[in-house]
Amino acid sequence: MLAKYLLRRVLATVPVVIGVTLITFLIMHVTAGSYIPGVDLNPALKPEDIEAIKRYLGLDRPLYLQYLTWLGGIVHGDFGRSMIDGSPVSSHILDRLPATLELTITAILLGVLISIPLGVTGALRRGSKIDHALTAMSVAGFAVPAFWFGLMLILVFSVFLESKGLPFLPSGGVMTPGTNGGDLLDRLVHLILPATVLSFVYLSIWSRFTRSSMLEVLSQDYVRTARAKGMSERRVVYLHALRNAVIPLVTLVGLELPALVSGGLVVEVVFSWPGIGKLLYERALQTDYTTVLGITTFAALLVVLGNLLADVLYAILDPRIRYS
Amino acid sequence: MISPLPLEGEIAPEPVVRARQSRSYWEESRERLLNNRFGVAAGLVLVFFVVVALLAPVLSALFTHTDSRTIDLANTFAPPLQGGHILGTDELGRDELTRLLFGAQVSMGIGFLSVVVALTVGATVGLVAGYYGGIIDGVLMRFVDMILAIPAIFLFILMALLFKPNTVTLALIIASVGWGSIARLVRGEVLSVRTRDFMVATKALGASDARLIVRHLLPNVLHVLIVYGSLYLAQVVLIEASLDFLGLGITPPTPSWGNMLTNSDTYFFHSSWLVIWPGVTIFLSVLAANLFGNALRDAFDPRLR
Amino acid sequence: MTETLLEVRDLKTQFATRDGVVKAVDGVSFELEAGETLGIVGESGSGKSVTALSIMRLVPPPGRIVGGHVKLKDRDLTTISEGEMQEVRGESIAMIFQDPMTSLNPVFRVGWQVAEPLIVHDEKKRQSAMGQATAMLGKVGIPHPGQRSKDYPHQFSGGMRQRAMIAMGLTTMPEVLIADEPTTALDVTIQAQILDLLDQVNREFGTATILITHNLGVVAGMCERVIVMYAGRIVESGPTADVFAHPRHPYTWSLLRSIPRLDADRHEPLQAISGIPPDLIELPSGCAFHPRCTFRVDRCSRDVPHLERVGETQMAACWVTQGGRDLNA
> What is the domain-level CATH number for residue C207?
3.40.50.300
On whether both C277 and C165 belong to a single domain, the answer is no
Q: Is A128 on the interface with C (CB under 8 A)?
A: no
On whether both C51 and C200 belong to a single domain, the answer is yes
Domain that holds residue C237: 233-322
Task: Report if residue C228 sits inside a domain.
Answer: no
Contact between A168 and A157 under an 8 Å Cβ cutoff? The reply is yes
CATH for B121:
1.10.3720.10
Per-residue pLDDT tens digits for C135-194: 999 989 899 999 999 999 999 988 899 999 999 999 889 999 999 998 888 888 888 888
Q: What is the DSSP string of chain B?
A: -PPP-PPTT-PPPPPP-PPPPP--HHHHHHHHHHH-HHHHHHHHHHHHHHHHHHHHHHHIIIII-S-S----GGGTTPPTTBTTBTT-B-TTS-BHHHHHHHHHHHHHHHHHHHHHHHHHHHHHHHHHHHHH-HHHHHHHHHHHHHHHHS-HHHHHHHHHHHH---HHHHHHHHHHHHHHHHHHHHHHHHHHHHTSHHHHHHHHTT--HHHIIIIIIHHHHHHHHHHHHHHHHHHHHHHHHHHHHTTSSS-TTS--TTGGGTTHHHHTTT-HHHHHHHHHHHHHHHHHHHHHHHHHHHHH-GGG-
Distance linking the first and last C-alpha atoms of chain B: 44
Residue B117 clears pLDDT 90, i.e. is over it:
yes
Higher-scoring residue by pLDDT: A85, C50:
C50
Residue B8 pLDDT: 46
Task: Report if residue C127 sits inside a domain.
Answer: yes
Q: Is C301 on the interface with B (CB under 8 A)?
A: yes
Closest CA to C209 of C50, C27, C5: C5
Q: Is C278 on the interface with A (CB under 8 A)?
A: no
Measured between alpha carbons, how far is C284 from C289 in angstroms, rounded to an integer? 8
Task: Report if residue C328 sits inside a domain.
Answer: no
On whether both C195 and C237 belong to a single domain, the answer is no
Closest CA to B156 of B34, B244, B264, B30: B244
Measured between alpha carbons, how far is B191 from C115 in angstroms, rounded to an integer? 39
Residue C60 clears pLDDT 80, i.e. is over it:
yes
Cross-chain residue pair C95–A228, CB shorter than 8 Å: yes
A129, B305, C196 from A126: Cα distances, Å = 9, 8, 43
Task: Report if residue B171 sits inside a domain.
Answer: yes
Contact between B121 and B176 under an 8 Å Cβ cutoff? The reply is no
Beta bridge partners of C72: C6, C75
Q: Is A89 on the interface with B (CB under 8 A)?
A: no
Interface probe, candidates B1, B2, B35, B303, chain C, greatest C C-beta count within 10 A: B2
- How many CB pairs (< 8 A) connect A and C? 78
Is the omega angle on the peptide bond into residue C62 within 30 degrees of 0, that is, cis? yes
Residue B1 pLDDT: 38
Task: Report if residue B220 sits inside a domain.
Answer: yes
- Looking at the partner chain, which of B161, B278, B286 has a beta carbon nearest the beta carbon of A287? B161
User: What is the DSSP secondary structure assignment for residue C298, as one 8-state letter?
Assistant: G
- Residue B294: closest C-alpha in chain A: A139
Measured between alpha carbons, how far is A222 from C293 in angstroms, rounded to an integer? 40
Query: In 3-state terms, what secondary structure has residue C134?
Result: helix
Contacts of B3 in chain C (CB under 8 A): 274, 294
Q: Which amino acid type is present at position C187?
A: D
Measured between alpha carbons, how far is A197 from A266 in angstroms, rounded to an integer? 10
Residue B6 pLDDT: 46
Question: Total domain count for chain B?
Answer: 1
- Looking at the partner chain, which of A228, A232, A320 has a beta carbon nearest the beta carbon of C106? A320
Measured between alpha carbons, how far is A207 from A215 in angstroms, rounded to an integer? 12
CB atoms closer than 10 angstroms to residue B2: 17
Task: Report if residue B16 sits inside a domain.
Answer: no
Measured between alpha carbons, how far is A316 from A208 in angstroms, rounded to an integer? 24
Measured between alpha carbons, how far is A117 from A134 in angstroms, rounded to an integer? 11
User: With the CA atoms of B130, B132, B134 and B136 taken in that order, what torsion angle do they form, in degrees rounded to the nearest 10?
Assistant: -90
Contacts of A221 in chain C (CB under 8 A): 97, 99, 102-103
Cross-chain residue pair A292–B158, CB shorter than 8 Å: yes
On whether both C310 and C214 belong to a single domain, the answer is no
Last residue of a domain, one of C192, C223, C254: C223
Measured between alpha carbons, how far is A226 from A241 in angstroms, rounded to an integer? 9
Per-residue pLDDT tens digits for A255-286: 888 889 989 999 999 888 899 999 999 988 88
By mean pLDDT, which of B214-218, B277-281, C111-115, C157-161 is the weakest?
B214-218
Mean pLDDT across the stretch B249-257?
A: 85
Closest CA to B247 of B160, B163, B172: B160
User: What is the DSSP secondary structure assignment for residue A156, as one 8-state letter?
Assistant: I
Measured between alpha carbons, how far is A315 from A251 in angstroms, rounded to an integer? 11
Contact between C216 and C259 under an 8 Å Cβ cutoff? The reply is yes
Contacts of C85 in chain A (CB under 8 A): 230
Task: Report if residue B124 sits inside a domain.
Answer: yes
Phi, psi for residue C310 in degrees, rounded to 5: -130, 120
Residue B94 pLDDT: 80
Touching B: A residues 215-234, CB under 8 Å: 215-216
Residue B18 clears pLDDT 60, i.e. is over it:
no
Q: Is A133 on the interface with B (CB under 8 A)?
A: no
Query: In 3-state terms, what secondary structure has residue C235?
Result: strand
Task: Report if residue B88 sits inside a domain.
Answer: yes
Higher-scoring residue by pLDDT: C22, A168:
C22
Higher-scoring residue by pLDDT: A178, C229:
C229
Residue B305 clears pLDDT 50, i.e. is over it:
no
On whether both C218 and C254 belong to a single domain, the answer is no
On whether both C206 and C183 belong to a single domain, the answer is yes
Measured between alpha carbons, how far is B221 from B193 in angstroms, rounded to an integer? 8
Measured between alpha carbons, how far is A209 from A188 in angstroms, rounded to an integer? 29
Q: Is A125 on the interface with C (CB under 8 A)?
A: no
Measured between alpha carbons, how far is B161 from B157 in angstroms, rounded to an integer? 6
Residue C245 clears pLDDT 50, i.e. is over it:
yes
Cross-chain residue pair C282–B10, CB shorter than 8 Å: no
Locate all alpha helices (DSSP H) within C63-187, ordered by sequence: 82-88, 100-103, 110-120, 126-139, 145-148, 158-170
Measured between alpha carbons, how far is C189 from B77 in angstroms, rounded to an integer? 84
Cross-chain residue pair A280–B287, CB shorter than 8 Å: no
Is the omega angle on the peptide bond into residue A167 within 30 degrees of 0, that is, cis? no
On whether both C263 and C211 belong to a single domain, the answer is no
**How far is residue C95 CA from its own chain's centroid?**
10
Contacts of C19 in chain B (CB under 8 A): 20
Residue C253 clears pLDDT 80, i.e. is over it:
yes
Task: Report if residue B19 sits inside a domain.
Answer: no
On whether both C240 and C209 belong to a single domain, the answer is no
Task: Looking at the complex, report in whole angstroms how far the Cα of residue A209 sits from the nearest Cα belonging to chain B.
Answer: 11
As to burial, measured by CB atoms within 10 angstroms (0-12 exposed, 13-18 middle, 19+ buried), residue A231 is buried
Mean pLDDT across the stretch C262-267?
A: 74
- Residue B234: closest C-alpha in chain A: A143
Residue B17 clears pLDDT 60, i.e. is over it:
no
pLDDT in tens, chain A (324 residues): 678 888 888 888 888 888 888 888 887 776 555 555 555 555 666 667 667 766 666 666 777 787 888 888 888 888 877 777 778 888 888 988 998 999 999 999 999 999 999 999 999 988 889 898 888 888 888 889 989 998 888 888 887 777 776 677 777 777 777 666 667 778 888 888 899 999 998 888 899 899 989 999 999 999 999 999 999 999 999 999 999 999 999 988 988 888 899 899 999 998 888 999 999 999 888 888 788 888 988 998 889 888 888 888 888 888 888 775
Question: Total domain count for chain C?
Answer: 2
On whether both C187 and C280 belong to a single domain, the answer is no
Q: Which residues does C185 contact at the CB level (< 8 Å), separation at least 6?
A: C98, C99, C100, C101, C158
Contact between C78 and C65 under an 8 Å Cβ cutoff? The reply is yes
Last residue of a domain, one of C193, C223, C253: C223
Task: Report if residue B232 sits inside a domain.
Answer: yes
A87-100: burial string, b at 16+ Cβ within 10 Å, e else: ebbbebbeebbebb
Give the confidence band of B7 by pLDDT, cuts at 50, 70, 90: very low
Angle at C114 between CA C108 and CA C116, to 5 degrees: 80
Neighbours of chain C (3+ CB pairs under 8 A): A, B
In this structure, the strands spanning C37-41 and C208-213 are: parallel
Mean pLDDT across the stretch C283-311?
A: 85
On whether both C159 and C94 belong to a single domain, the answer is yes
Locate all alpha helices (DSSP H) within chain A, ordered by sequence: 2-32, 47-57, 63-75, 89-124, 129-143, 146-153, 161-163, 184-218, 221-228, 233-235, 242-270, 276-285, 289-317, 319-322
Measured between alpha carbons, how far is C329 from C326 in angstroms, rounded to an integer? 6
Per-residue pLDDT tens digits for C74-119: 889 989 999 999 999 988 999 999 888 899 999 999 999 999 999 9
Cross-chain residue pair C290–B15, CB shorter than 8 Å: yes
Task: Report if residue B154 sits inside a domain.
Answer: yes
Task: Report if residue C217 sits inside a domain.
Answer: yes
Domain that holds residue B48: 25-304
Model ipTM value = 0.87
On whether both C217 and C271 belong to a single domain, the answer is no
Phi, psi for residue B183 in degrees, rounded to 5: -60, -45
